[in-house]
Amino acid sequence: MTNSEKFQCGYVAIIGRPNVGKSTLLNKIIGQKICITSHKPQTTRHRILGIKTTENAQAVYVDTPGLHLNEEREMNRYMNRTASSTIHDVDVIIFVVERLVWNKEDQYVMEKVKRSGLPVILVINKIDLIADKSKLLPHIDKLSKKLDVVQVIPLSAKKEQGAALLEEKVLELLPQSHAFFPEEQLTDKSERFIAAEIIREKLMRQLNQELPYALTVEIEKFETVDQILRINGLIWVERKGQKKVIIGKEGEQLKTIGQQARVDMEQFFSKKVYLELWVKVREGWSNDARALRSLGYSDEM
């Protein structure tokens, strides 16, 4: 890699309401899973950088929590603050919507994007799920009239359709600058953070209804001993009943979650992992600003 005068580097925010596929898109662009995903809205809670470095450019993509209208709890307000503040710290915005859907939350995101004054690429994700493709062009035309964008790009992050065109367009918009991060770095997050997120992903996918939103994961131990990565994870919930559900009958549910997380960890960290999980109750943690900060939900980058 060279830092010649022609080298480009900049920050690119991936913005949208919950569950439009922002994290899946970032994982596809980077070529490695650095963001957890699930079918449940609000899976992403933190701002996560995905760094893509080529010979002539470095694009620093910023995955954000989904912007949403419900601000009942401090956790919801934290996620909205995190996503909103990102809009003002970047060079380019990728505004992600899905299929032929346009709702109040999309409108809410659009108003924030408009006020930024930044170049915007509008991505229509999940086009593989559109049964009648003839409806796509009229939808693109309608959205183009709502927001002044550089380009509208229909794609399927899951099927890897259209992502290359998106990357090309991003590179056209990046300013000339030296690289901000080493060539080999893929994300700004620590290995401990990645481990906690892998555990939380398995919880999100395994558990039903609202329970995933009442839990978080803290890593108490993360060390390599005799070439084995030993990790102790603490799952915090808000009520005793939730603890029982996660543990399951004779501990089977927690055992399954641990096994699934360990497989992903061994793949990510490229070493054998010994994982132990515990579940503890901390009442009202998701609606307590101080508790959130102590559990790693900080507004600071």
Q: Are 112 and 144 in contact (CB under 8 A)?
A: no
Same domain, 140 and 222: no
In the chain, the number of structural domains is: 2
**pLDDT above 70 for 2:** no
Q: Of 35-44, 88-97, 132-141, 277-286, where does mean pLDDT reach its minimum?
A: 35-44
The model's pLDDT over 196-245, given as tens digits with 9 standing for 90+, comes to 999 999 999 998 777 878 899 999 999 999 999 999 999 999 999 999 99
Same domain, 37 and 146: yes
Q: Is residue 147 part of a domain?
A: yes
The model's pLDDT over 58-69, given as tens digits with 9 standing for 90+, comes to 999 999 999 999
The mean pLDDT of 27-46, rounded to a whole number, is 91
Q: Is residue 135 part of a domain?
A: yes
Same domain, 12 and 161: yes
Residue 292, both tokens: 């959130």
pTM beyond 0.75: the answer is: yes
Q: What's the domain range around 17?
A: 8-173
Same domain, 35 and 118: yes
The model's pLDDT over 90-133, given as tens digits with 9 standing for 90+, comes to 999 999 999 999 999 999 999 999 999 999 999 999 999 999 99
Q: Is residue 117 part of a domain?
A: yes
Same domain, 76 and 157: yes
Which of 110, 139, 173 terminates a domain? The answer is 173
The mean pLDDT of 249-271, rounded to a whole number, is 96
Q: Is residue 115 part of a domain?
A: yes
The mean pLDDT of 128-155, rounded to a whole number, is 95
Which of 173, 203, 219 terminates a domain? The answer is 173
Nearest C-alpha neighbor of 34 from the set 45, 42, 43, 23: 23
Query: Is 232 strand, coil or helix?
Result: strand
**pLDDT above 70 for 143:** yes
Same domain, 218 and 152: no
Same domain, 290 and 213: yes
Tell me, what CATH number does 102's domain have? Answer: 3.40.50.300
Q: Are 12 and 87 in contact (CB under 8 A)?
A: no
Q: What is the pLDDT of residue 299?
A: 63
DSSP of 42-65 = T---S-EEEEEE-SSEEEEEEE-P
Q: Is residue 39 part of a domain?
A: yes
Distance CA 52, CA 67 (A): 24
Q: Where are the beta strands (DSSP E) in the chain?
A: 8-15, 48-53, 57-63, 92-98, 120-125, 151-154, 216-225, 228-237, 272-281
Same domain, 223 and 156: no
The mean pLDDT of 37-64, rounded to a whole number, is 94
Same domain, 198 and 241: yes
**pLDDT above 50 for 301:** no
Amino acid at 34: I
Same domain, 27 and 66: yes
Mean pLDDT, the chain, rounded, equals 93
In 10 A of CB 60, how many CB atoms? Answer: 23
Q: Is residue 203 part of a domain?
A: yes
Which of 117, 147, 173 terminates a domain? The answer is 173
Same domain, 35 and 164: yes
Nearest C-alpha neighbor of 157 from the set 168, 169, 147, 165: 165
Q: Is residue 98 part of a domain?
A: yes
Q: Is residue 180 part of a domain?
A: no
Q: What is the pLDDT of residue 161?
A: 84
Same domain, 100 and 144: yes
